[in-house]
Structure 1
């Protein structure tokens, strides 16, 4: 069962359908649900009897409430989510009294600039890391079900704690998204003749800035602490470089940043079998 038929939820459903699984779909928006059903992602409505796994595919701020609702309804033997922040939803679920023994947090490191079921792909997760964030309360059966989901979607399961996950995505996803937005924002009020000179480089740097702002406000708010910490370090680097550029002669601060940037770029994993646009959301 998949609750929430946006980009990730529908992509999970399409991947499972491709693997031969029966999938039931629910969404609070009937129009969005109908689009997912039309794409062959599954059967609308809750399952007639409990299923092996329920995937909660909603924004971070809604995970806990939806999790409690589906657990109370008894829709599945185990539950997971696909939100890009883990610690805050887990705390909320704990406060609401959700059954943490049947739940394991999950985050497939894949996405796209476009949202909604119309952008979903069955191969979105192929070769991508799928982070699982069990707690001491998580049962082996729940963790096994979430791991099986990731493998069925063609992903590579990776186990981290919720806090480790949130610190990691601040570095590899959330702050890079903000930096793309900062670069793209320079173009918003720039003269048209200037923007017309833009080439592939600026398109590459700003690609993820085309994502839904409201979605990203929710993501960044839920991971505010780790994101702010990384941004402080970025701001310090920018301040040093700006000061160096204002000096009579450009000093080593500029070259140091460029060298560190090239080194960091070189540490990224090589292309995977099916690279996903906007990966890491």
Structure 2
């Protein structure tokens, strides 16, 4: 995701009728979408929507990223003459989502708004304080991404078979939720409806902490000598793959979901500290803490392979 705000947006556009878009009789009510943010997630969404024949307007203050997304066929640059979209997708860094949402709603960029930020509780609380309109806003998060950034890393099939969480606010009517759910379906995502708190706890466990653990392991090798690196294999490469994520963006993500991440990290650190203590002790019994950790690791891996990520891995293999 690039740092994007609403650019070249029609300042006097309004939602038709001044209210929330109703689900049309046509089974696919999403015909026009505006994507704010031309990073890997925003551009991937735009590419998939374009494949489905949906008109996509793109907005990004990073003119280079915007131009690249346009060249890739992700849509056309948003202009002041464009009519309001059925759905506006805010694909900007988490700390900018509320400002972008407030500006987009004030400009009447669309009938319904959603976002793709990977933390929800803080954004929703900040949006309430900012006076954002929750009758048209459906917080969302596609559980897919790449360790690479920018529009060039985008792919239209990025969300196929992947969970896509929606965390509707109590004030949000069913119509906007259905419309965003249709967009999720067009993108190939598998809809999950969660509370913001449940989402953030899950995202901490399955995404945020793995990134930090990967980064911590990779950081150890920053000063490694060539003799050590010459022995590195696929196991190390696979374990540290996500550590290549953009540090600035990831700092933003981690700060947005700080408490749930810290809770999972504490548990992981306890296990590693126990393992280090066992290795330093004279007692390496088969039933000791090392064996316990490895057995629980086997069990956890089996659970992972039983979920959506595991199903995708088995399909690829």
Normalising by structure 1, we get a TM-score of 0.96
Whether 1:244 and 2:278 are equivalent positions in the alignment is yes
Counterparts of residues 66-105 of structure 1 (less than 5 Å): 66-105=100-139
Whether 1:18 and 2:51 are equivalent positions in the alignment is yes
User: How big is each residue's C-alpha offset from its partner over 1:151-186, in whole Å with a ceiling of 9 and x where there is no partner?
Assistant: 000110000011110000110010011110111111
Q: What is the Cα deviation at residue 274 of structure 1?
A: 10
Taking the aligned partners of 2:290 and 2:172, their CA distance within structure 1 comes to: 48
Taking the aligned partners of 2:205 and 2:62, their CA distance within structure 1 comes to: 33
Taking the aligned partners of 1:275 and 1:223, their CA distance within structure 2 comes to: 31
Report if the CA contact (8 A) 1:123-1:274 is conserved: no
Match of 2:190 in 1: 156
Match of 2:290 in 1: 254
Name the SS of the counterpart of 2:132 in structure 1.
Answer: coil
Name the SS of the counterpart of 2:135 in structure 1.
Answer: helix
Taking the aligned partners of 1:6 and 1:275, their CA distance within structure 2 comes to: 27
1:33 pairs with 66, 91, 106, which one?
Answer: 66
Report if the CA contact (8 A) 1:127-1:274 is conserved: no
For structure 1, the 5+ residue unaligned runs are: 277-281
Match of 1:226 in 2: 260
Taking the aligned partners of 2:173 and 2:114, their CA distance within structure 1 comes to: 12
Name the SS of the counterpart of 1:32 in structure 2.
Answer: helix
Report if the CA contact (8 A) 1:241-1:253 is conserved: yes
Q: What is the Cα deviation at residue 234 of structure 1?
A: 0.9
Report if the CA contact (8 A) 1:127-1:273 is conserved: no
Taking the aligned partners of 1:235 and 1:51, their CA distance within structure 2 comes to: 46
Taking the aligned partners of 1:11 and 1:71, their CA distance within structure 2 comes to: 23
User: How big is each residue's C-alpha offset from its partner over 1:230-271, in whole Å with a ceiling of 9 and x where there is no partner?
Assistant: 111111111111111111121410000001111011011233
Normalising by structure 2, we get a TM-score of 0.85
Consecutive aligned runs of 4 or more in structure 1 exceeding 3 Å deviation: 273-276
For structure 2, the 5+ residue unaligned runs are: 1-33
1:42 pairs with 75, 80, 84, which one?
Answer: 75
Over the residues paired in the alignment, what is the CA RMSD in angstroms?
1.4
Taking the aligned partners of 2:101 and 2:56, their CA distance within structure 1 comes to: 18
User: How big is each residue's C-alpha offset from its partner over 1:170-210, in whole Å with a ceiling of 9 and x where there is no partner?
Assistant: 10010011110111111101111101110011001001001
Name the SS of the counterpart of 2:215 in structure 1.
Answer: helix
Name the SS of the counterpart of 2:282 in structure 1.
Answer: coil
Name the SS of the counterpart of 1:272 in structure 2.
Answer: helix
Taking the aligned partners of 1:74 and 1:161, their CA distance within structure 2 comes to: 27
Match of 1:165 in 2: 199
Match of 1:271 in 2: 311
Counterparts of residues 92-171 of structure 1 (less than 5 Å): 92-171=126-205
Say which one has the larger Rg.
2
Taking the aligned partners of 1:274 and 1:8, their CA distance within structure 2 comes to: 24
